[in-house]
Amino acid sequence: MKKLFKTLFNTEKTEIYHKKDIYPDTSRKLNKDIKENLKILSEEYFIDCDDVILREFDVMDASGKRHRMAVVWIDGLVDKQLIQDHVIKALLIFGREMPPAAGADRFLLLIKESFLTAADLKESDNFGEAVLAVLSGDTLLLLDGVGKTLIISSRGWEKRSIQEPSTEAVIHGPKDGFTETFRINVAQVRRRIKDPNLKIKTIRLGRHTRTDVAVMYIKGIANPKVVEEFLKRLDKVDVESIMDAGYLEQYIEDSWASPFPLFRRTERPDVVSAALLEGCVALICDNTPYALIAPVTFWSLFHSAEDFYERWHIATLVRYLRFLAVFTATSAPALYVAFVSFHPGLLPTDLALSIGASREGVPFSSTIEALIMMTALELLREAGVRLPGPIGQTIGIVGGLVVGEAAVRAGIVSPIMVIVIAVNAISSFAIPSYSVAIGFRLLTFIFLALSSLAGLYGIAIGYIWFVLYLCTLKSFGANYLDPFVNLDPEKMEDLMVRYPLRFMSKRPDFTHPLDETTINKELLSKIQSGDEDADG
């Protein structure tokens, strides 16, 4: 048991991945004989791959000499119209105007520089890089007599259009969200930060999937040590597949045992852009409609994009409501059990009598009663997620009403218990981060168990343990409870209270940014002194 607890609560980063090169084998070179190259591709690399298209054709130059060529692509991953119009058609029709070349290498150079109108071209002389390009949606152009191939960018698979984020909807603010397409997601961030200091480093992870992963940061703002740590951890990930950014989050996070996220997940490009400008680092993974942001603190996970699109008074009020929702979501059932079973004398007399009257005929203790309703609520939540959209929403709302009413009529639970669980559910929906909300749903059961053992004292012990545990967590060097760990009032300007934007002159300290200020110092002094000309 001691060993188990030591393992679960060990926050030290252990190196469990060995370094292995997942990049293509570049040692096997292409042959000058096009038939040999096509044979190797079809019989070794793409054997039993019916979606791989290999087309051979002849191109005649101005002297009448024929040049044997071939194109290779995967059906469904490429834009066929691009291949037809800008590759095959261009070579077959305009190739006759091509002057006689001294040799095959010279002929390939003329094709590359004068006849192909594709936007992105590059050469390769090995099978590994060529095969990976085909698997990524590019097209190979092979020429007989040349030990090289042209890799033509032709990616054009079906993709989902940009839509409004489903889990981070706002009333005021941008309505575009990330999709499953890697380059579209990267471009959405680049469109918002038109600065050459926005750096994007792309790597491939997964021995089979070879998934594209982009590490994004702003040079001059992000701390180089944090960026280096990101790249170091990613370099040590050696797994067969990376299907989603959630895989990466679990592989490179500081504490695998934490029920609370050490990354911030977001579907919004504007949130990623704002985080980059604060000195954070973002990860964008192919096939994933959200990004990961780190370092983060516990408090930043309660911030919403709309906090900065509304007046500071409203944003501050909403933040306090979120923290109230956290307390209610974790403690409502536990407080009910504590007051009913251990401390009824702390309740007003009329309320205590009302609760006692409502529990007449209920055959279960308050703990079992709460556990039954909480389990039913979790089942309804899971059913609502798995069922189709309209049906799922109906199950979540109507199912809760029907089950609650039926349970009260059957005498299984009291009416007050239904109200407590309803307040608990509504409060959990007010938490902006889904990953955090799931962690607090787990805490609800833990606090219920503690309150059933020791009442309010058990809840107090639970909160003390909770705070102490959060103090042990770190996110890429940042204390999870920062700035409360350091108790520095100057670093709390965007914590519980959303300061007016004109007074938010410094970036968050937990990111350890190279450039700490966001506003020109002279302009800031004018604003703070109330100079009216500062607005102009």
pLDDT at position 269: 95
Higher pLDDT, 158 or 217: 217
Say if residue 262's pLDDT is above 90. yes
Q: Residue 13: which pLDDT band, with cuts at 50, 70 and 90?
A: very low
pLDDT at position 491: 65
Residue listed under structure tokens 């800008």: 86
Say if residue 447's pLDDT is above 60. yes
Say if residue 118's pLDDT is above 80. no
DSSP helix, strand, coil percent of the chain (3-state; round to 5): 50, 15, 40
Name, of 92-101, 298-307, 477-486, the range with top average pLDDT: 298-307
pLDDT at position 90: 82
* Percent of all residues in the chain with a pLDDT value above 70, rounded to a whole number: 87
Say if residue 18's pLDDT is above 50. no
Q: Residue 532: which pLDDT band, with cuts at 50, 70 and 90?
A: very low
Q: Residue 354: which pLDDT band, with cuts at 50, 70 and 90?
A: confident
Q: Minimal CA–CA distance to 250: which of 266, 268, 265?
A: 265
pLDDT at position 359: 83
How many Å apart are CA 273 and CA 281, to the nearest integer? 10
> Dihedral, CA atoms, 381, 386, 390, 395, nearest 10 degrees?
-40
How many Å apart are CA 388 and CA 329, to the nearest integer? 26
291-310: average pLDDT = 89
Q: Minimal CA–CA distance to 127: which of 200, 72, 89?
A: 72
Of 13-27, 86-100, 244-258, the one with minimum mean pLDDT is 13-27
pLDDT digits (tens, 9 = 90+) for 226-254: 999 999 999 999 899 999 999 999 999 98
pLDDT at position 130: 92
pLDDT at position 93: 78
Of 14-18, 398-402, 485-489, the one with minimum mean pLDDT is 14-18
Q: Which two tokens stand for residue 68?
A: 């044997």
Q: What b-and-e string marks burial along 78-96, b requiring 16 or more CB atoms within 10 Å of the CB?
A: bbeebbeebbbebbeeebe
pLDDT at position 20: 45
pLDDT at position 536: 40
Say if residue 2's pLDDT is above 60. no
Q: Residue 22: which pLDDT band, with cuts at 50, 70 and 90?
A: very low
Say if residue 107's pLDDT is above 70. yes
Q: Residue 15: which pLDDT band, with cuts at 50, 70 and 90?
A: very low
How many Å apart are CA 177 and CA 268, to the nearest integer? 5
- Provide the 3-class DSSP secondary structure of residue 71: strand
378-391: average pLDDT = 76
pLDDT at position 389: 65
Q: Residue 26: which pLDDT band, with cuts at 50, 70 and 90?
A: confident
> What would the DSSP string read from start to end of 215-232?
EEEETTTS-HHHHHHHHH
Of 152-156, 268-272, 278-282, the one with minimum mean pLDDT is 152-156
Residue listed under structure tokens 């044979």: 39
pLDDT digits (tens, 9 = 90+) for 415-441: 888 889 889 888 888 888 888 888 898
Q: What is the distance, to the nearest Å, from the Cα of residue 25 to the centroid of all Cα atoms in its chain?
A: 30
- Provide the 3-class DSSP secondary structure of residue 272: helix
pLDDT at position 10: 55
CA angle (136 as vertex; 72, 245 as ends), nearest 5: 170
How many Å apart are CA 61 and CA 325, to the nearest integer? 75
Say if residue 255's pLDDT is above 80. yes
Q: Residue 383: which pLDDT band, with cuts at 50, 70 and 90?
A: confident
* Percent of all residues in the chain with a pLDDT value above 90, rounded to a whole number: 41
User: 99 with 64: CB under 8 angstroms?
Assistant: no
pLDDT at position 534: 43
Q: Residue 53: which pLDDT band, with cuts at 50, 70 and 90?
A: very high
Residue listed under structure tokens 């109230």: 324
33-41: average pLDDT = 93
192-215: average pLDDT = 93
> What would the DSSP string read from start to end of 422-466?
HHHHHHHHT-S-HHHHHHHHHHHHHHHHHHHHHTHHHHHHHHHHH
pLDDT digits (tens, 9 = 90+) for 402-414: 788 888 888 888 8
Higher pLDDT, 397 or 534: 397
pLDDT at position 391: 66
Of 120-124, 431-435, 514-518, 526-530, the one with minimum mean pLDDT is 526-530
Say if residue 330's pLDDT is above 70. yes
Supply the mean pLDDT for the chain: 85
pLDDT digits (tens, 9 = 90+) for 519-529: 765 655 665 56
| pTM confidence score | 0.84
Q: Residue 270: which pLDDT band, with cuts at 50, 70 and 90?
A: very high
